Chain A
């Protein structure tokens, strides 16, 4: 293929994405100017500056130290300063905080996926559990996690469990749910004809599970895991908020709001969003690789 065609293809694919990103940034700048303008006018009034140009107002509203809404370049600058320019070991390094949150996200995600899968297997294979378990599983998700997070931390602390695990438990509490729901559907997805085939072989439940139900549920598992890993991250951040955690993106958000450091809050938020995007993408890549190996890649 000629480079020219390659470039055209690339532009055709990247074009819409670039347009959307530009639109978001434009709206963000307009919102920043509008929201920060009143404070800026007050500041001009106090300093008795009367004849300021619109250009100066825009420049000033997008470079405040504690804006209501920081401008994109301020957030980018803050992230650059706290990642590239800070040592990873520093308490101010956003990489350090991201790692703290990421580690409990991952542990909670793995625990949640395991728990969710086990519950689904139990529900699919046992009529009593099928009838009795699902309402509890659903009820567990109606409790506000903000209310239950401190309780979990305190209770686990009382029995001597500290550090990563209590936070991971909160991620698990949120992330097992989509996995259970998805896997119950997945384990029940084999067609009647596929199940009948197993009956003609007088296959044991063990064989039916490993040779039919489990492989059929793999696409459902990955779809559930995409949701689960994103809410694991939410769980990890939430678990850092009410518990006085000193490290992590949640702690960063909390500290930022104590001291009115909106730029710090927004940079933590953007970092969390980036992290979520990366994690979901990784699950997607694993999904593709596994399905291709199983010969079920959606081409």
Chain B
């Protein structure tokens, strides 16, 4: 597809980390086709924290997997860092954090964080330096030699974030990373994650089904609806970037949360 670009367009596309145009994805199943995604358009620029929120089955995880090249769209184009998701994957442009920590039980925490670095073929000194740095970043410096089962669920998930960061990607793709954790741990990790993103200026795409979590973390909230999975509303958050958990008591926060909730309600057909 050829398009004439004005200079300002070119500038925009430089900042644009993820560019999704008309993406649809249909799974062929025995019960007929399932329209997981339909007509998705979304731009994400450098340094944004974007939450994808919606009911289960709305395709938010699928969209994240499309960005990560874990799924291929049926139609539409998507570029990540200006190239195809496949190339972006090969360039190791992103770190992916799954719903579960997905730590390998036979590796210590340090070895788990070193796993992607081994695959990248980094030498031992570089690996050890990055493991140390990133474990300290998530406050797990003292647990390097422990095995995963010796850590709590929250600590395991922090280790998996350190593992994603160790690749030193410009972007983090996070698929409900705190979904399995209790409220208190989740709040704490949300705060830590926000600080971490400020420190490293990473672009984050974050899948969640918690409204407070989405509003607290994001600069942009993408509300999705199900069957077929599509974008219902995109909300730009004006909340200050350096926020603490107290921000959740402010009227601005509640306004945004209200708009998200409304969007979810409109997009949800109960007779489905």
A interacts with B: yes
Interface residues of A (CB under 8 A from B): 191, 193-194, 196-204, 207, 211-212, 215, 218, 294-296
B147:A200 contact, CB within 8 angstroms:
no
* A211-B119 contact given A196-B70, A200-B68, CB 8 Å threshold: yes
Instruction: Count residues of B near A (Cβ-Cβ below 8 Å).
Output: 25
Among B92, B102, B147, point to the contact of A193 (Cβ < 8 A): B102
Q: Residues of B contacting A198 with CB < 8 Å?
A: 119
Contact among A199, A218, A296 for B70, CB-based, below 8 A: A199
Chain B residues with CB under 8 A of A204:
119
Q: B7 at the A/B interface (Cβ < 8 Å)? A: no
Is A196 in contact with B108, judged by CB distance below 8 angstroms? no
Q: List 10 A-B contacts (CB under 8 A).
A: A196-B102, A198-B119, A200-B70, A200-B96, A201-B120, A203-B119, A207-B119, A212-B104, A294-B106, A295-B106
Q: How many A-B residue pairs have CB under 8 A?
A: 53
Q: In the complex, which residues of chain A have a beta carbon less than 8 angstroms from the beta carbon of B96? A: 196-197, 200
Extra 7 A-B pairs, beta carbons < 8 Å, given A196-B98, A201-B119, A296-B105: A197-B102, A200-B95, A201-B120, A204-B119, A207-B119, A211-B118, A295-B147
- Interface of chain B: mostly helix, strand, loop or mixed: loop
Are B105 and A295 interface neighbours, CB within 8 A? yes
Q: Name the prevailing secondary structure of the A interface residues.
A: helix
Kindly state whether residue B116 has any CB partner on chain A within 8 Å: yes
**Cα(A46)–Cα(B89), bound, Å:** 93
Measured CA separation A295–B145 after assembly (Å): 11
Question: Would B104 and A215 count as touching, CB distance under 8 A?
Answer: yes
Interchain CB contact under 8 A, B106 and A215: yes
* A207-B119, A295-B147 known; A200 vs B89 contact (CB < 8 Å): yes
Chain B residues with Cβ below 8 Å from A294 are 106
* A residues less than 8 Å from B167 (CB atoms): 201
Q: Which parts of B102-159 form the interface with A (CB within 8 Å)?
A: 102, 104-108, 115-116, 118-120, 147, 149
Q: A203 contacts which chain B residues (CB < 8 A)? A: 119
Can you list, as one digit per residue, whether each of B79-102 has a CB less than 8 Å from chain A (1) or not (0)? 000000000011010111011101
Query: Chain B residues with Cβ under 8 A from A197's Cβ?
Result: 96, 98, 102
CB distance from A139 to the nearest CB of B (A): 32
Q: Hey, which chain A residues are within 8 Å of B108, CB to CB?
A: 295
Task: Check B68 against A193 for contact (C-beta < 8 Å).
Answer: no
Top 5 A-B residue pairs of the complex, sorted by shortest distance between their CB atoms: A295-B147, A294-B106, A200-B96, A193-B102, A215-B106
